[in-house]
Copies of this chain bind each other. A is one copy, B any other.
């Protein structure tokens, strides 16, 4: 079981729900890659509306967005581990936003 404590990194990836890679949603491909790379945990959130980097170029209308909702993928891990998987994430994201924040891990109870 992996241990996580103290200063770590929260990585957030924002992309569009309809983005595809090899016939599957890009966000799903990223989650599977992170799992293969033994990243300790991943959470995926879906927004209800939005616009911007994650949305398609022809998205002039806010209503149109209901078909391409924003997806946020969140990962908390060490700086070192995050940097190891970052190139694969950058390669997968063709329209979106990738950010890092410092977080303090108070408690981590992994898969038993």
Contacts and interface: CB of A to CB of B under 8 A. Distances in A.
Contacts of A42: 50-52
Given A109-B94, A111-B95, A28 B53 contact: no
Contacts of A97: 4, 41, 76, 105, 107-109
B35 A41 contact: no
Nearest to A25: B49
Copies in the complex: 3
Interface of A: 4, 8, 10, 12, 14, 28, 31-32, 35, 39-55, 57, 59, 62, 70-72, 76, 86, 90, 93-112
22 contacts: A4-B97, A14-B41, A14-B43, A32-B62, A41-B53, A41-B54, A42-B52, A43-B47, A43-B50, A48-B71, A53-B108, A76-B97, A93-B107, A93-B109, A94-B109, A95-B109, A95-B111, A96-B107, A96-B108, A98-B108, A99-B104, A101-B101
